[in-house]
């Protein structure tokens, strides 16, 4: 053990002599050992590090000088973004500018960055040699204390050089990465580039659309607004061409203009319409093969049924497409036609289930018998199904008339002579009925406020105008005439309010969707239009205390059929009609009870079958009784 001076008795005024290396070799090692630790720490840090370098590299291809751009030519044109199809008869065109640009071309150099990482095998060998050299030159193994300072420094430098050389022998880590810095060198020539960009437009810019079919001008310079440099239009809506005979193959000549830019194109019918086969008889069998056999009938369909056309088999048969596969139909009972396919949706195609006789369906049989329970009542049944536009044809109209008459007689207890059924009423006929309603008579006498009940059932289309006014649609309505050929619901309410009846219950199996009349599809009834719903309730609120009205769907929604396209569920009635009379059959005797019954069943069934909302509406007195079980019941 070396002996150290006692620090307590050391004279601080005197500087102690340092021991010589020859006298204390261990002390010499202690002095040099921190150096070893520092060197080893540096070695460890270097082993975990990497480095990067940068260099300028000449590009293989010349590049364009953006400051030398010269415009040689510019051409503005309409580019079709969406072309029409039978499923989506929409044209969408973008206004673009194609330019020819001249640039000076230069050689270019680009700065690249290269990442390096150590070669760990080399480092292990080099650092081992460095460590050995440093140890030998700074320890007593080779009597290093006798080495001169210069000799020791030379040995340390050699050891460190070995370590540094092993570290610097790095290898590239990945490919060189561009740093984004470029330098243009000497010019090599020029080059022309083609560039296409949107044409700058003002916010009020408009194009002009013209459509001609043969010699007939369907659309003449109609203004169309741009949206994001694109103008779009629906061919069916612009031309009102929704269906044509199959023998008519004349297409459209389309012309779109903006300032000096013009787009001309011929559009064939097959580009935006699809061929269908329409049944023309009341009961036509669809068959699995083109032969008249007793065992190849798939189902019977009614008049106005439409199926996609597949092929013309021979002079007697068409091959058509049903929901579950091909079928065959006789030509003598059908005809080919063109139709815009996006109007042939679930609930719009007039495709009937297997033909059944009235009375075979659950809702048509086993009814409660209340015949003659209400002899002083009148039922007015208006059934509008055969509209001027075949696309608005309501396939369930005729059978609905039978159902309303049956329930009015057997369940509500009205005399058959007091059930007035009006089918396919024109505007003049509906207007006359409203004007002469106060002259309704029962057995030679007028309606009585003390004894007479009035039941009104309307089945047909309805519509809302932009001013939130509601109308019933006669079968001869022409959309080109605006609202002049429509029956205001306000007039119906006023007529009911002015009639001499003990109570009046009105049922409207209609909707207020423009899609029902004009063929344009809305949001499929995703939400109720609050403003229109409030307007409708405002109209109905004018009813007297002795009246109530129920209707099939809220504004913005569509009244749907009780059927789906897979033939597993199919009733020849609408959902609202079905549940209104099912409610009567189940014992719902008051208007309030029927309202609750419809609210429980109609929305759920519409969502389940058609995947869309349908919320029935109600206004008026909920305590009115529809079914009188005894003649003396009020």
Q: Convert the pLDDT of each residue in 106-147 to its tens digit.
A: 888 888 887 877 777 777 787 787 888 777 777 766 665 667
Q: Which of 314-323, 433-442, 508-517 has the lowest mean pLDDT?
A: 508-517
Q: Is the pLDDT of residue 256 over 80?
A: yes
Q: pLDDT for 526-570, tens place per residue?
A: 445 678 888 888 888 888 999 999 999 988 888 888 875 444 446
Residue 45 has what pLDDT?
A: 57
Pairing of strands 306-312, 297-301: unpaired
For residue 6, how far is the Cα from the chain centroid?
94
Q: Of 113-127, 323-337, 497-511, 583-597, which range is least confident?
A: 113-127
Where does the pLDDT of residue 387 fall: very low under 50, low under 70, confident under 90, or very high at 90 and above?
A: confident
Whether the model clears a pTM of 0.75, i.e. scores above it, the answer is no
- What is d(CA 20, CA 444) in angstroms, rounded to the nearest whole number? 148
Q: Which residue has the higher pLDDT, 634 or 180?
A: 180
Give residue 35's pLDDT band: very low, low, confident or very high (50, 70, 90): low
How many C-beta neighbours within 10 Å does residue 573 have? Answer: 23
Q: What tens digit of pLDDT does each residue of 338-363 get? A: 887 655 443 334 444 444 556 778 88
Kindly tell me the number of DSSP H helices and DSSP E strands found in the chain. Answer: 12, 32
Whether 464 and 512 have beta carbons less than 8 Å apart is answered as yes
Q: Taking 90 as the threshold, does the pLDDT of residue 403 lie above it?
A: yes
Residue 29 in 3-state DSSP? helix
pLDDT confidence of residue 254: 93
Instruction: Measure the CA–CA gap between 348 and 361, rounded to whole angstroms.
Output: 22
Q: Where does the pLDDT of residue 408 fall: very low under 50, low under 70, confident under 90, or very high at 90 and above?
A: very high
Work out the pLDDT band at 505, boundaries 50, 70, 90.
very high
Residue 297, pLDDT score: 83
Residue 188 has pLDDT above 80, yes or no: yes
Q: What is the mean pLDDT of residues 255-265?
A: 92
Average pLDDT, the chain: 80
405 with 459: CB under 8 angstroms? no
Phi and psi angles of residue 267, each rounded to the nearest 5 degrees, phi first: -115, 115
Residue 214, C-beta contacts closer than 8 angstroms, at least 6 positions apart: 250
**Is 461 or 56 the better-scoring residue by pLDDT?**
461
- How sure is the predictor about 614, in pLDDT bands with cuts at 50, 70 and 90? very high
Residue 622 CB contacts under 8 Å (≥ 6 apart), including other chains: 548, 590, 591, 592, 595
């Amino acid at each position: 053990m070396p002996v150290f001076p006692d620090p307590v008795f050391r004279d601080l005024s005197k500087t102690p002599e340092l021991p010589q290396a020859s006298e204390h070799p261990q002390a010499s090692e202690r002095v040099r050992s921190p150096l070893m630790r520092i060197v080893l720490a540096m070695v460890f840090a270097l082993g975990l590090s990497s480095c990067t370098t940068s260099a300028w590299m000449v590009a293989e291809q010349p590049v364009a000088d953006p400051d030398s751009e010269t415009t040689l030519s510019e051409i503005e044109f309409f580019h079709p973004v969406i072309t029409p199809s039978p499923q989506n008869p929409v044209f969408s065109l973008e206004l673009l500018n194609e330019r020819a640009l001249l640039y000076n071309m230069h050689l270019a150099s680009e700065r690249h960055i290269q990442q390096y990482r150590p070669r760990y095998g080399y480092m292990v060998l080099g650092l081992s040699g460095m460590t050995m050299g440093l140890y030998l030159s700074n320890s007593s193994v080779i009597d290093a204390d006798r080495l001169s300072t210069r000799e020791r420094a030379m040995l340390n430098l050699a050891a460190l050089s070995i370590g540094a050389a092993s570290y610097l022998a790095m290898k590239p880590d990945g490919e060189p990465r561009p740093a984004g810095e470029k330098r243009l060198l000497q010019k090599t020539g020029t080059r022309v580039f083609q560039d296409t960009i949107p044409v700058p437009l003002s916010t009020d810019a408009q194009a002009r659309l013209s459509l001609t079919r043969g010699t007939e001008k369907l659309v003449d310079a109609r203004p169309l607004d741009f949206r994001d440099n694109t103008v779009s239009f629906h061919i069916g809506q612009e031309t009102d061409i929704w269906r044509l005979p199959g023998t008519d193959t004349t297409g459209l000549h389309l012309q779109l203009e903006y300032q000096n830019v013009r787009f001309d194109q011929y559009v064939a019918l097959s580009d935006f319409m699809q061929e269908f086969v329409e049944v023309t008889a009341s009961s036509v069998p669809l068959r699995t093969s083109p032969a008249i056999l007793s065992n190849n009938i798939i189902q019977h369909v009614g008049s106005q049924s439409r199926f996609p056309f597949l092929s013309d088999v021979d002079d007697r048969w068409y091959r058509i497409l049903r929901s579950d596969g091909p079928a065959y139909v006789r030509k003598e009972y059908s005809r080919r036609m063109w139709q815009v396919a996006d109007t042939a949706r679930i609930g719009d195609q007039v495709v009937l289930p297997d033909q059944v006789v009235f009375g075979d369906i659950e809702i048509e049989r086993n009814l409660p018998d209340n015949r003659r329970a209400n002899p002083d009542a009148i039922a007015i049944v208006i059934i509008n199904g055969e509209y001027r536009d075949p696309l608005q044809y309501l396939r369930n109209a005729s059978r609905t008339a039978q159902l309303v008459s049956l329930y009015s007689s057997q369940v509500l207890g009205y005399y058959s002579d007091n059930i007035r059924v009006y089918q396919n009423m024109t505007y003049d006929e509906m207007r006359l009925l409203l004007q002469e309603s106060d002259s309704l008579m029962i057995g030679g006498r007028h309606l009585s406020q003390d004894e007479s009940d009035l039941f009104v059932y309307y089945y047909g289309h309805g519509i809302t105008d932009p001013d939130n006014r509601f109308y019933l649609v006669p079968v001869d309505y022409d959309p080109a005439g605006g609202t002049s050929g429509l029956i205001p619901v306000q007039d119906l309410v006023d007529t009911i309010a002015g009639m001499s009846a003990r109570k009046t219950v009105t049922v409207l199996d209609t909707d207020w969707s423009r899609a029902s009349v004009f063929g344009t599809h809305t949001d499929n009834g995703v939400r109720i239009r609050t403003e229109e719903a409030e307007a409708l309730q405002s109209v109905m609120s004018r009813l007297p205390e002795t009246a109530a009205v129920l209707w099939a769907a809220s504004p913005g929604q569509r009244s749907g059929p009780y059927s789906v396209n897979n033939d597993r569920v199919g009733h020849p009635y609408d959902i609202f009609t079905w549940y209104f009379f099912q409610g009567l059959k189940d014992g719902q005797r008051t208007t309030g009870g029927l309202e609750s019954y419809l609210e429980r069943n109609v929305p759920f069934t519409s969502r389940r079958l058609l995947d869309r909302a349908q919320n029935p509406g109600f206004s008026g007195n909920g305590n009115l009784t529809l079914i009188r079980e005894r003649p003396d019941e009020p």
